[in-house]
Amino acid sequence: MTLERRLMAEWLGTFSLLATVIGSGIMAERLADGNVAIALLGNTIPTGAILVVLITIFGPISGAHFNPAVTLSFAMRREITKRDSLLYVTAQVFGGIAGVLAAHVMFEHALLDPSTTSRSGIGQWTGEFVATFGLVGTILACIKVRPSAVPMAVGLYITAAYWFTSSTSFANPAVTIARGFSNTFAGIAPIDVAAFIGVQLVAAVLATCFFAWLLDDAQNG
């Protein structure tokens, strides 16, 4: 695939992911009548489902990263060039922001509305570390042993991580940046974005190193 097609796949995939995350969050909050557990469930299921779809259709085009942490991992493995990595991340970030704005338009929400939801502290940061480490590990392990399972495995992992991590599993710097623009159920205060991204990138680096060792060790006996 040409670079232009790969970048469009990354832009459109991340756009669709964020439109789903924010749109389902708004819909879930409106319909849950104050029940936060039901609202979270209504946000979780569409997110996991759309990931399966997006990775299935865009995987053959761009690899379906939709996530700078994943792109960083593949750059460390020398499976994508530094230049292409930067272009991927740019497409992901702008695609994510556009997806948020599209969700706002669909639900007649203020177009530009930075979040006021505080997501900070050791518990939240630990949750993001666990979520991102596990996501990168899931992808690398599936690629090694069963590549066809990546879409379903990622969708199921994020569905589970929404509930077992304290942060509800952003696990994605582009998603984190975009969700800072949405003062809705799925938002994050802009002041908390940098710490989340820092933890996510550290987790991605450590997961890449750990699973390189683990999977090579498993292969060799």
pLDDT surpassing 50 at residue 220? no
| DSSP letter assigned to residue 218 | H
Whole-number percent of the chain with pLDDT over 90: 97
| Separation between Cα atoms, residue 174 and residue 171, nearest integer Å | 9
**What was the pLDDT predicted at 26?**
97
Residue 209 has pLDDT above 60, yes or no: yes
Give me the pLDDT at residue 207, please.
98
Confidence (pLDDT) at 1: 86
159: number of Cβ within 10 Å = 18
* Number of domains present in the structure of the chain: 1
**179 alpha carbon, distance to own chain's centre:** 11
pLDDT digits (tens, 9 = 90+) for 154-206: 999 999 999 999 999 999 999 999 999 999 999 999 999 999 999 999 999 99
Its pTM stands at: 0.95
Closest CA to 22 of 91, 120, 102: 102
Q: What is the pLDDT of residue 191?
A: 98
Q: What is the pLDDT of residues 46-99, one digit of tens each?
A: 999 999 999 999 999 999 999 999 999 999 999 999 999 999 999 999 999 999
The two most distant CA atoms of the chain are separated, in Å, by: 57
Determine if residue 69 is left, alpha or beta; phi over 0 gives left, psi from -120 to 50 gives alpha, anything else beta: alpha
Written as six digits, the tokens of 161 are 């991580």
**pLDDT of 15-37, one tens digit each?**
999 999 999 999 999 999 999 99
pLDDT exceeds cutoff 90 at 111: yes
pLDDT confidence tier of residue 217, bands split at 50, 70 and 90? low
Rounded distance between C-alpha atoms, residue 106 and residue 124, angstroms: 30
Q: How far is CA 142 from CA 104, 120, 159, in A?
A: 35, 31, 17
- Residue range(s) defining the domain that contains residue 207: 3-219
- Alpha helical stretches, state H, the chain: 3-31, 36-62, 68-76, 82-106, 122-145, 150-164, 173-179, 190-219
Q: Please, which pLDDT band fits residue 127 given cuts at 50, 70 and 90? A: very high
- Residue 221: the pLDDT is 41
Collapse the DSSP code of 182 into the 3-class scheme (helix H, G, I; strand E, B; otherwise coil) and give the result.
Answer: strand
Q: pLDDT at position 216, please? A: 87
CA distance 172 to 72: 11
The answer to whether 115 touches 196, Cβ cutoff 8 Å, is no
**Domain containing residue 11: CATH number:** 1.20.1080.10
